[in-house]
Every structure is written in structure tokens, then in C-alpha cells.
């Protein structure tokens, strides 16, 4: 019985590998999705907890599963509420006018801030790096921490939420094309920090 079970498992595993290979040949995006999901399944089996932000409602859970495996979530609106363009998953992950990117960015920032408080304490949310001519904040980081790289110096951190799997981007061009606009923003942040000699971490 044990040998029969082992042979069956080996057959099923070979079928799985053949299926994945065939799917990746038909759609190169699936290869990138497969690499991304391997070893990242803990959230599927973790105990839901509102204190830790793991209490997904049914719609959030289904959407997360769909995006995880390269499918389109159900019941998407026909048009974007921010810019009015035709709405799909790729547009939702790229449009800066609809509010989805802003909410996703703020959620990641707040989670990192809470963890940083446990480690270093004294974390500051959205510190102002530069004041404009009219007296209003012109350049703002996401958080400021003391003791990260040096016990007496502050470090400023800035988060960026990007679409890691745009369908129009070739795998070999993915990293450079995504990083260009963020490199420009990083240069704008590090320029005023050179005066105070405080490190900036994008």
C-alpha cells in the first residue's frame, strides 16, 4: 500500500509539473506569478485576528486568492471612480486617482510604523523634510526612526506601492521600467537630507 501511494504521489507531482510548464509556455506572466507565490502561503492558514490585520472579509479573501494566481477578481466596476477610464485589475493597481494606491500605501506605512515602534520606539509618522516658500510642507517622508543605522542619527523611510506584474512588461525589462519613476522620487528625497546628513531609505 505504501509503495502504491508513493507511486501515485509521484505521478500526480509529475502531472502538476507538466501542467505548470505548459501554462508558463502559453503565458509568461504565470512564471512570474509562480515564483512570487512559492513560499508565501502563510496568510492562507494563519488564524484570523483583527489585532494583527488578518481578519479578511469574504470578498477580500476571494480577491486576494484571485490576484495570487493571476485571475481577475469578480464583480469589478466598469469604470474607474477616480479618472473615469475603463476599469480592470491592472488599472486598479496603477491608477493614482481612484484612491486604491493611496489606501494601500497608507496601510503598509502604518503597519511598518507599528512594527518599528516595537523595535526602536519613538517612531514619527510623516516627518516634514522640506518647507515650501508658502510655509506648507513640500517634501514629507513616511516615517522617521532613531537608532536604525546609528544610535544618534535619524533615518527617514519612504514606501512605494507598485504593480509588480503589469501585463505589458516583459520579464527582462520589468525591474528597470518600474524603478525609473521611483528613482526620480528618491533623488528628490535625498537631496535635502544631504544637508542634515540623515540617511533616507526608499
Whether 143 maps to a domain, the answer reads yes
CA distances from 135 to 45, 141, 195 (A): 49, 17, 19
In a domain, 36, yes or no: no
Residue 46 has pLDDT above 60, yes or no: yes
Q: Is 109 a member of any domain?
A: yes
Residue showing cell 513640500: 138
User: Does 193 reside within a domain?
Assistant: yes
Q: How high is the mean pLDDT of the chain?
A: 76
What is the pTM (predicted TM-score) of this model?
0.61
pLDDT value at 110 more than 60: yes
Q: How large is the average pLDDT for residues 111-138?
A: 87
* Cell of residue 124, nine digits: 514619527
Band the pLDDT of 189: cuts 50, 70, 90. Answer: low
- The verdict on residue 150 lying in a domain is yes
More confident residue, 140 or 168: 140
State mean pLDDT over 58-80: 84
62 located within any domain: no
Asked if residue 15 belongs to a domain, the reply is no
The pLDDT assigned to 6 comes to 82
Closest to 164 in 3D by CA, of 30, 32, 31, 3: 32
The contacts found for 94-100 with CB under 8 angstroms, 24 or more apart, are 94/163, 94/166
The Cα–Cα gap between 33 and 85 comes to 26
Q: How is residue 135 written as a grid cell?
A: 510655509
pLDDT (tens digit per residue) in 143-168: 999 888 877 788 899 888 877 766 65
Neighbouring residues of 38: CB distance < 8 A, sequence distance ≥ 6: none
**Counted domains in the chain:** 1
Residue 186 domain boundaries: 102-202
How far apart are alpha carbons 160 and 140 in whole angstroms?
13
C-alpha cell at 34: 509562480
C-alpha grid cell, residue 173: 525589462
- Give the alpha-carbon dihedral of 73, 75, 76, 77, to 10 degrees: 180
| 61 within domain boundaries | no
Amino acid at each position: 500500500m505504501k509503495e502504491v501511494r508513493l507511486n501515485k504521489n509521484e505521478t500526480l507531482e509529475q502531472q502538476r509539473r507538466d501542467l505548470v510548464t505548459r501554462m508558463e509556455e502559453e503565458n509568461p506572466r504565470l512564471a512570474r506569478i509562480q515564483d512570487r507565490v512559492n513560499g508565501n502561503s502563510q496568510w492562507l492558514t494563519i488564524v484570523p485576528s483583527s489585532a494583527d490585520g488578518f481578519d479578511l472579509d469574504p470578498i477580500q479573501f476571494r480577491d486576494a486568492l484571485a490576484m495570487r494566481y493571476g485571475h481577475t477578481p469578480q464583480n469589478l466596476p466598469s469604470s474607474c471612480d477616480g479618472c473615469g477610464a475603463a476599469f480592470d485589475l491592472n488599472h486598479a493597481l496603477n491608477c493614482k486617482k481612484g484612491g486604491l494606491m493611496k489606501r494601500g500605501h497608507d496601510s503598509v506605512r502604518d503597519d511598518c510604523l507599528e512594527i518599528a515602534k516595537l523595535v526602536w520606539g519613538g517612531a514619527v509618522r510623516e516627518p516634514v523634510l522640506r518647507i515650501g516658500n508658502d510655509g506648507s510642507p513640500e517634501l514629507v517622508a513616511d516615517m522617521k526612526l532613531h537608532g536604525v543605522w546609528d544610535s544618534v542619527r535619524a533615518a527617514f523611510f519612504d514606501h512605494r506601492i507598485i504593480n509588480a506584474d503589469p501585463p505589458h512588461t516583459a520579464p527582462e525589462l520589468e525591474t528597470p521600467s518600474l524603478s525609473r519613476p521611483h528613482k526620480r522620487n528618491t533623488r528628490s528625497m535625498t537631496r535635502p537630507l544631504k544637508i542634515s546628513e540623515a540617511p533616507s531609505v526608499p
